[in-house]
């Protein structure tokens, strides 16, 4: 009886969520899919942080923009759990933040409290572990970099020229840096983001790829010229500023956080006896008929 009641309530919750996205959303009702938890988080966008409603299923994470205080949604995103990797982050531009890495896009999210943050992270990890143990999928090995928000830099992070109305901001898909058009003319296929479409990359990332290919082929272009004249102090200083190989986006973020709407606390929509525990098995927690 408990199983039948749970199945019906779970189906109704998923159908209601599916309808909230309207015709623009993809179907969410699938055999064996369970809505494990839901809540509101602040997602760091390209221009500013925005509240988003997140829904955790036993096989995926779904989020979308909020319309009418959560009764309607748009811009639905579905991320399979096998394509998620979480990275805990210290407080920076946002308090109680962490990084969600996916093959196509990586982004920061923040909760309203540390306890809510841990509830989200632990629950996602538990669901992902159980999903992977079911043998239904294979883990991903490549993840997209997180983008530096537009407001975090007023000048190109490669040539250091200021952004203007005509010199607009763009993002390198390889390093996530904010660059101008002149510094991002090259295009490359990054298979884990898009298998066929050439994407914008900055000149440094493109050059690094060419040098790596040269080294693999043994071309002279990939070798160091010991007779070359050493760079001047000015060149060294500029090179040190613009040739950062890795980045910590939270360092570049503005310290001001405009959340807008108030965040909702993370909740488990499933009954108490079905809530996850550490090292739990989804199948083992379901009531027996």
CATH assignment at residue 174: 3.30.40.10
What is the pTM for the complete model shown? Answer: 0.69
What confidence score (pLDDT) does residue 64 get? 95
pLDDT of 88 > 80? The answer is: yes
Q: Which of 53-62, 147-156, 256-265, 280-289 has the lowest mean pLDDT?
A: 280-289
Residue 139 is part of which domain span? 2-143+254-285
120 and 216 co-located in one domain: no
260 and 242 co-located in one domain: no
49 and 124 co-located in one domain: yes
210 and 266 co-located in one domain: no
| Total number of domains constituting the chain | 2
What confidence score (pLDDT) does residue 230 get? 46
pLDDT digits (tens, 9 = 90+) for 191-246: 888 888 999 999 888 887 766 655 655 543 333 333 444 444 454 344 434 333 34
The CATH number assigned to the domain holding 124 equals: 2.30.29.30
Q: Tell me the two tokens of residue 150.
A: 């537009």
180 and 199 co-located in one domain: yes
Q: CA-CA distances (angstroms) from residue 262 to 38, 55, 69, 176?
A: 15, 17, 10, 29
176 and 70 co-located in one domain: no
What confidence score (pLDDT) does residue 256 get? 30
Q: Are 186 and 199 in contact (CB under 8 A)?
A: no
Q: Which of 10-19, 120-129, 203-212 has the lowest mean pLDDT?
A: 203-212
What confidence score (pLDDT) does residue 211 get? 64
């Amino acid at each position: 009886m408990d199983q039948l009641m749970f199945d019906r309530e779970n189906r109704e919750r998923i159908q209601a969520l599916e309808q909230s996205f309207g015709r623009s959303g993809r179907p969410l009702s699938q055999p064996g899919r369970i809505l494990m938890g839901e809540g509101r988080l602040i997602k760091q966008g390209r221009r500013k942080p925005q509240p988003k409603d997140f829904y955790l299923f036993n096989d995926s994470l779904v989020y979308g923009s909020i319309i009418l205080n959560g009764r309607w949604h748009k811009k639905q995103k579905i991320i399979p759990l096998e394509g998620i990797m979480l990275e805990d982050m210290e407080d920076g531009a946002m308090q109680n933040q962490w990084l969600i890495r996916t093959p196509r896009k990586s982004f920061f999210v923040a909760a309203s409290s540390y306890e809510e943050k841990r509830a989200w992270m632990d629950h996602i990890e538990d669901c992902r572990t159980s999903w992977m143990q079911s043998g239904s999928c294979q883990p991903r090995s490549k993840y997209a970099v997180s983008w530096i928000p537009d407001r975090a830099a007023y000048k190109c992070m490669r040539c250091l020229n200021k952004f203007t109305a005509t010199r607009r901001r763009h993002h390198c898909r390889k390093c996530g840096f904010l660059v101008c058009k002149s510094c991002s003319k090259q295009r490359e296929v990054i298979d884990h983001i898009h298998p066929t479409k050439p994407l914008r990359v900055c000149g440094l990332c493109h050059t690094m790829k060419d040098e790596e290919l040269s080294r693999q082929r043994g071309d002279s272009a990939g070798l160091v010229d010991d007779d070359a004249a050493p760079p001047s102090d000015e060149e060294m200083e500029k090179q040190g500023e613009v040739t950062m190989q890795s980045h910590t986006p939270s360092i570049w973020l503005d310290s001001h956080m405009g959340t807008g709407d108030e965040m909702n606390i993370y909740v488990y929509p499933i009954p108490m006896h079905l809530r996850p525990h550490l090292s739990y098995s989804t199948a083992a927690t379901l009531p027996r008929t």
